[in-house]
Chains A and B, each alone.
Chain A
Amino acid sequence: MPRMRRNPPGVDPALLAKEAATLLPDPARRAFLRGGASIGALAFLTGCDIVDGESAERALMKISYFNDRVQAWLFRPNTLAPSYPDSAVTRPFPFNAYYPEEDAPEVDKEDYKLLVGGMVDDKKSWTLDELYALPQETQITRLVCVEGWSAIGKWSGLRFSEFLRRIGADTRAKYVWFRCAEGYSTSIDMATALHPQTQMTLRFDGEILPRRYGFPMKIRMPTKLGFKNPKHVMELAVTDKYLGGYWEDQGYNWFSGI
């Protein structure tokens, strides 16, 4: 699959490099099991390999991949996430990222071009005005964070399955992969990409999507945990290749459906 590696339009390469440097996960975090099996009561296991960090990590990741398959099987493609009235929207809506709010990437709306690649018929890139011109719909749904908290937001944009249709995506492919302005990335299963509530979001709560929530475009999926909803999306690709993601590569479950 051709992966575009050039700098995305609308992003200052120097800024990108600066951010990339801060992106590298804390080295301590590379071991998923920081602290390992620190619970005292588990000490009786020390005789066996399971507590040894690396083999425990391998075993746990295998189960996590198994859980990906279980969740894909549990996923009901036509079941909608509950919707809420406007009065239920959490205002102000929480900002959440692995960087502080002032470090959220600034994307220039004039230069922005959404890059499209992989198993699609039409690889032309999309300007913001072209995206704004597509039919829009609004959803008021609950965002559930992997940390446990939740908040109700109001997102508007284009149904993602409609965008996939327009670019002639091969929907038999396994994944859709996203790369974001700040260097974040994630990938999702095709079934979720085609879900009626999976949205290419351009507005939040009636306004142009603000920088803190992912300007100029994010992918909203009320059927997945918050971190699977990429903000500041600069590039997407339809692919059969598993490409993981920023948090997924550090041990978070890949499917993360809810």
Chain B
Amino acid sequence: MHLLYLSPMVPANIESVSIEAARGRAIMPIAPKREIIHPAWVRVTHWVNALAMLIMIGSGWEIYNASPLFAFRFPPAITLGGWLAGALLWHFAAMWLLAVNGLVYVVLGMLSGRFRRKLVPIRPGEVLADTKAALMGRLAHDDLSVYNAVQKLLYLGVIFAGAVMILSGLAIWKPVQLQELTGFFGGYDTARYVHFFAMAAIVGFLTVHVIMSVLVPKSLRAMITGR
């Protein structure tokens, strides 16, 4: 599969199909296939993460409701678990799914060079220009294999928020056994706020992310079929 996987430097078009691949198809006159944009490991970890995140966020909201940090509660209709014990069961079950899947994603992202190819460099000038273009609705998504500067920033940002989420979560789960980590977050009570705001950042990302996948449906197709 990696043979077909092109770096973003190469424009994804039919001409650039590798010779081997072209030879393999030479006998059958088939419709030219689009390039693989997201290899299978990206798609699998993406959807497993989506499920794990939904469970973590939904149960996390129910846990939040047991002792709210702010003057609001999440409506029970959008929380998971029914009551505190149920929510905790979901939360501390899905954390394994989130952690193992996240670890696989980060390790493969680094080993395969995908992070390096796709997410860096982020140049402030490009971020500004692309943000402006995006807000005016002029940011094109013609080539899904290349991320614009806003995408790079958001994808890296949400990976960072995910890391903060996991670390602050460990800090409030184990403020005695992992007291050094809890101390790093400024103590137990502060770590709860950090955990909350990391959730808010991820939910903010999710909102933009889902809206964009609706506006650019081929990006959703690429995350399902890979092409």
Q: Which residues of A approach B to under 8 Å, CB–CB?
A: 29, 31-42, 57, 59-61, 63-64, 67, 74-76, 79, 81-82, 142, 144-150, 222-223, 247, 250-253, 257-258
Distance A148 CA – B88 CA, assembled complex (angstroms)? 11
Distance A210 CA – B174 CA, assembled complex (angstroms)? 29
CB contact under 8 A between A39 and B78, given known A29-B83, A148-B63, A251-B86: yes
CB contact under 8 A between A38 and B76, given known A63-B89, A251-B85: yes
Task: Report whether B93 and A63 are in contact in the complex, using a CB–CB cutoff of 8 Å.
Answer: yes
Task: Report whether B174 and A147 are in contact in the complex, using a CB–CB cutoff of 8 Å.
Answer: no
Q: Min CB distance, A138 to chain B, in Å?
A: 18
Q: Return chain B residues, CB-CB under 8 Å to A82.
A: 176, 179
Q: Return chain A residues, CB-CB under 8 Å to B54.
A: 39, 41-42
Task: Report whether B176 and A42 are in contact in the complex, using a CB–CB cutoff of 8 Å.
Answer: no
Contact with A along B66-91 (1 / 0, CB 8 A): 11000000001111111111101110
Q: Nearest residue in A to B61 (C-beta to C-beta)?
A: A39
Q: Nearest residue in A to B174 (C-beta to C-beta)?
A: A258
Task: Report whether A79 and B177 are in contact in the complex, using a CB–CB cutoff of 8 Å.
Answer: yes
Task: Report whether A223 and B84 are in contact in the complex, using a CB–CB cutoff of 8 Å.
Answer: no
Q: Nearest residue in B to A250 (C-beta to C-beta)?
A: B85
| Binding site secondary structure of chain A | loop
- List 27 contacting pairs A-B, 8 Å CB cutoff, sorted by A: A32-B85, A35-B81, A35-B82, A37-B80, A38-B78, A39-B58, A59-B93, A63-B93, A63-B96, A64-B89, A64-B92, A64-B93, A75-B177, A76-B177, A81-B176, A82-B176, A142-B188, A146-B66, A147-B67, A148-B66, A148-B67, A149-B67, A250-B85, A253-B88, A257-B176, A258-B174, A258-B177
Q: Return chain B residues, CB-CB under 8 Å to A147.
A: 66-67, 84
Q: Is B64 at the interface (CB under 8 A from chain A)?
A: yes
Task: Report whether B175 and A258 are in contact in the complex, using a CB–CB cutoff of 8 Å.
Answer: yes
Q: Min CB distance, A204 to chain B, in Å?
A: 20
Q: Min CB distance, A215 to chain B, in Å?
A: 26
Q: Is B189 at the interface (CB under 8 A from chain A)?
A: yes
Q: Could you list 4 further interchain pairs (A-B, Cβ under 8 angstroms) beyond the known A149-B67, A251-B88?
A: A33-B89, A76-B177, A253-B89, A257-B174
Q: Which residues of B approach A to under 8 Å, CB–CB?
A: 54-55, 58, 63-64, 66-67, 76-86, 88-90, 92-93, 96, 172-177, 179, 188-189, 192
Among A39, A247, A258, find the residue whose CB has the most chain B CB atoms closer than 10 A.
A39
Q: Return chain B residues, CB-CB under 8 Å to A32.
A: 82-83, 85-86, 89
Q: Out of A35, A74, A142, A258, which one reaches B86, CB within 8 Å?
A: A35
Task: Report whether A223 and B176 are in contact in the complex, using a CB–CB cutoff of 8 Å.
Answer: yes
Among A35, A64, A142, find the residue whose CB has the most chain B CB atoms closer than 10 A.
A35
Q: Return chain B residues, CB-CB under 8 Å to A251.
A: 85-86, 88-89
Task: Report whether A222 and B85 are in contact in the complex, using a CB–CB cutoff of 8 Å.
Answer: no
Q: Return chain A residues, CB-CB under 8 Å to B63.
A: 148
Among B63, B89, B93, B179, find the residue whose CB has the most chain A CB atoms closer than 10 A.
B89
Task: Report whether B92 and A63 are in contact in the complex, using a CB–CB cutoff of 8 Å.
Answer: yes
Q: Min CB distance, B51 to chain A, in Å?
A: 8
Q: Out of A33, A41, A59, which one reaches B58, CB within 8 Å?
A: A41
Distance A67 CA – B90 CA, assembled complex (angstroms)? 12
Task: Report whether A38 and B79 are in contact in the complex, using a CB–CB cutoff of 8 Å.
Answer: yes
Among B64, B79, B83, B176, find the residue whose CB has the most chain A CB atoms closer than 10 A.
B176
Q: Min CB distance, B111 to chain A, in Å?
A: 27
Q: Min CB distance, A96 to chain B, in Å?
A: 10
Q: Nearest residue in B to A142 (C-beta to C-beta)?
A: B188
Q: Return chain B residues, CB-CB under 8 Å to A146.
A: 66, 84, 88
Task: Report whether A222 and B89 are in contact in the complex, using a CB–CB cutoff of 8 Å.
Answer: no
Q: Out of A39, A150, A223, which one reaches B79, CB within 8 Å?
A: A39
Task: Report whether A34 and B86 are in contact in the complex, using a CB–CB cutoff of 8 Å.
Answer: yes
Q: Return chain A residues, CB-CB under 8 Å to B96.
A: 63
Q: Min CB distance, B19 to chain A, in Å?
A: 42
